[in-house]
Structure 1
Amino acid sequence: MMLTPRTAFAPAQRFDRDTVSAQAHRVRNAENVAAILDAVNVPVFVLNRYRQVVHANEPFYALIGVDDPQSVQGLRQGEAFGCIGVQLAKPTGGCGTGSACRTCEAIRAVLNAQAHGKDERQCAFRLTRGNAMNAQFRATRVDIGGEIFVICALVDIRDSLWQRDVQTSFLHDILNIAGAIQTSSEALPQFNGAQQKDYINLIQSACDTLVNEIKSYRIMLQAEDGSLQPEVHTVRSLGFLQSMVQIVNGHRAGQDRSLVIAPDSEDANLDTDRGLLSRVLVNLIKNALEASDPGMTVTARTDVKDGWVTFSVHNMTVIPEQVAHRIFARFFSTKGSGRGIGTYSARLLTEQYLGGSIAFTTEPDAGTTFTVSYPARPAAANRSV
């Protein structure tokens, strides 16, 4: 058995390779266990006492994209999945031992199953290969040959969560906009002259907002299934940020709060998809405003260094640790169900389609800053004039 590394959460001990190999042999040869796992069409894997993978079925190997089961044997679940939290746990003992792991529902399910027999909960993983996974995670303790193991099953629930999001967020928003259009249209015949013109402008603005909401939803669907094709144009970074601030200033999130651009912001040409970048920046600015108390100020800025253009959004609100570790998780939100795609979509569009990176810092005295950075001239671009 290896020496015990330090841990910030779950036990860090591991069995050595020979012990894990013997455990895998025991599980594979246990009566009906391997056959039952192979008959199931969802990913299933078996963990030993120290949460190391000793056996799994074909759907599990397909999910993590490996052909050789031996390459996974002895890894913990997050290490096999490529969970981003494992990167944060490297100084300690791997999956389950970092501070980010304290909020991982999958680890909690395994630990609870070890103690009480079984556990089931929804889990969201952010993976290093750039995508996210949402699953119903079921863990069950079993005794195989006198040794305790935990059998874990994953059921993909992304489609049902998308359906929930459509019902609670997207449809709610477009119905509100459509209702405003209907109300204004019904009132229009009662007015003439300047008042009628004001109502016409209101209807036009609401129609533009409605079309934009529908386009945003379509973009996220395409981004999720990999069919999104960015169209690259050249923009001026500071002018683009100024236009985003103007857009958000008219949004209800900005009421009773100040939104300013840092006076020392820098300007540069940036080759990017204007529509995708606008969705990233508007999401981050809206989130900062919504997280701020009335009277607070949100500051946006743009900087240029070594061929990269950086946009940042700062407010004085601090993100709690238990929230910070899940801030980019798909469907995770502190604002209720159906509201958890803002930071997730910003990360997805930035990393997968705009060739950039996204990060944030949050400290009690300094507040919270979200930063997105993009190469000013991407190596490969689908350019439009």
Structure 2
Amino acid sequence: MKTEFASPERLNKSDLAVQTEAIKRDSVLGQMLDAMPNIILVLNRQRQVVFANQVLLDHFNITSIDEFVGLRPGEILNCIHSAENEAGCGTTEFCRECGAANAILNSQKNGADIQECRIIQNESLEALDLRINATRFKVSEEEFTIFAVTDISNEKRREVLEQLFFHDVLNAANGMIGYTELLRIVDQDQVPGVADQLMTMHDR
């Protein structure tokens, strides 16, 4: 299978089952993941899901992680690019700029990474703004990645509104400064007109 970014390799079902059982046997880890308020996935070196916390099960209204085992994050989140290549999530040219894919790869190399990403969902074209915390850890001497998802859509919308607000404030302030400068140089009989314009801007 071809790839334009990350490795396309996947483990087969039997190997995935062994990894899933290894995670399930660690009851402390399972309890810790279930205590987290956001969606947590446990990924293997091939970026496939082998375990997830209760928040994910509740979000998708399912009772077992089995139907998601072997998938990659973008395939679960229905990313518009996840089915473009036969190899799936992480293997298209668009994945080079994906914060989720890069966070996973960087955590595998460096131990941990935090990145933001925007996922456009297939069919609905709805945008998900997410912050991804990826952390490498070991179970039975095998490396995995804890992939924590935080929805920051509201935070991003607030940032846009703040930028628009400050843009309007700066425009108004610059306009008032301009009219104030005019008051200093116009003829005396023109002052009332400039003052009226200044008051109009003030009333806005």
TM (norm. structure 2) is: 0.81
Structure 1 residue 100: Cα displacement: 0.9
> Could you say if the C-alpha distance between residues 184 and 108 of structure 1 is closer, same or farther in structure 2, counting changes exceeding 3 Å?
closer
> Could you say if the C-alpha distance between residues 80 and 179 of structure 1 is closer, same or farther in structure 2, counting changes exceeding 3 Å?
same
Structure 1 residue 170: Cα displacement: 1.2
Structure 1 residue 184: Cα displacement: 7.3
* Rounded Cα–Cα distance in structure 2 between residues aligned with 1:172 and 1:115: 40
3-state DSSP class of the match of 1:14? coil
- Percent identity between matched residues is 28
Matched, 1:135 2:130: yes
3-state DSSP class of the match of 1:84? coil
* Rounded Cα–Cα distance in structure 1 between residues aligned with 2:159 and 2:27: 41
* Rounded Cα–Cα distance in structure 1 between residues aligned with 2:33 and 2:169: 46
Alignment of 1:30-179 (within 5 A): 30-63=26-59, 65-68=60-63, 69-87=65-83, 89-90=84-85, 92-128=86-122, 129-167=124-162, 169-179=163-173
Correspondent of 1:15 among 2, 11, 14: 11
* Rounded Cα–Cα distance in structure 1 between residues aligned with 2:109 and 2:144: 11
Deviates more, 1:149-158 or 1:44-53: 149-158
Deviations 1:133-180 (A, max 9, x none): 22221111111123211111122333333333333x212222134325
> Could you say if the C-alpha distance between residues 74 and 191 of structure 1 is closer, same or farther in structure 2, counting changes exceeding 3 Å?
farther
3-state DSSP class of the match of 1:10? coil
3-state DSSP class of the match of 1:125? strand
Alignment of 1:291-310 (within 5 A): none
Amino acid at match of 1:173: H
Deviations 1:26-59 (A, max 9, x none): 2111241111111111111100111111111122
> Aligned-pair RMSD on alpha carbons?
3.0
Alignment of 1:198-237 (within 5 A): none
* Rounded Cα–Cα distance in structure 1 between residues aligned with 2:103 and 2:176: 49
Whether contact under 8 Å (1:30, 1:145) holds in the other structure is no
Deviations 1:344-373 (A, max 9, x none): xxxxxxxxxxxxxxxxxxxxxxxxxxxxxx
Structure with the higher fraction of residues in helix conformation? 2
* Rounded Cα–Cα distance in structure 1 between residues aligned with 2:26 and 2:42: 12
> Could you say if the C-alpha distance between residues 66 and 49 of structure 1 is closer, same or farther in structure 2, counting changes exceeding 3 Å?
farther
* Rounded Cα–Cα distance in structure 2 between residues aligned with 1:47 and 1:147: 11
3-state DSSP class of the match of 1:165? helix
| Matched pairs, number | 196
* Rounded Cα–Cα distance in structure 1 between residues aligned with 2:144 and 2:170: 51
Whether contact under 8 Å (1:184, 1:203) holds in the other structure is no
Whether contact under 8 Å (1:181, 1:203) holds in the other structure is no
> Could you say if the C-alpha distance between residues 135 and 191 of structure 1 is closer, same or farther in structure 2, counting changes exceeding 3 Å?
farther
* Rounded Cα–Cα distance in structure 2 between residues aligned with 1:72 and 1:153: 16
* Rounded Cα–Cα distance in structure 1 between residues aligned with 2:170 and 2:125: 34
Amino acid at match of 1:67: I
Deviates more, 1:70-79 or 1:170-179: 170-179
Whether contact under 8 Å (1:26, 1:145) holds in the other structure is yes
3-state DSSP class of the match of 2:130? strand
3-state DSSP class of the match of 1:96? coil
* Rounded Cα–Cα distance in structure 2 between residues aligned with 1:37 and 1:22: 19
> Could you say if the C-alpha distance between residues 134 and 191 of structure 1 is closer, same or farther in structure 2, counting changes exceeding 3 Å?
farther
Unpaired runs of 5+ residues, structure 2, are none
> Could you say if the C-alpha distance between residues 24 and 191 of structure 1 is closer, same or farther in structure 2, counting changes exceeding 3 Å?
farther
* Rounded Cα–Cα distance in structure 1 between residues aligned with 2:189 and 2:108: 70
> Could you say if the C-alpha distance between residues 111 and 183 of structure 1 is closer, same or farther in structure 2, counting changes exceeding 3 Å?
closer
TM (norm. structure 1) is: 0.45
Amino acid at match of 2:20: A
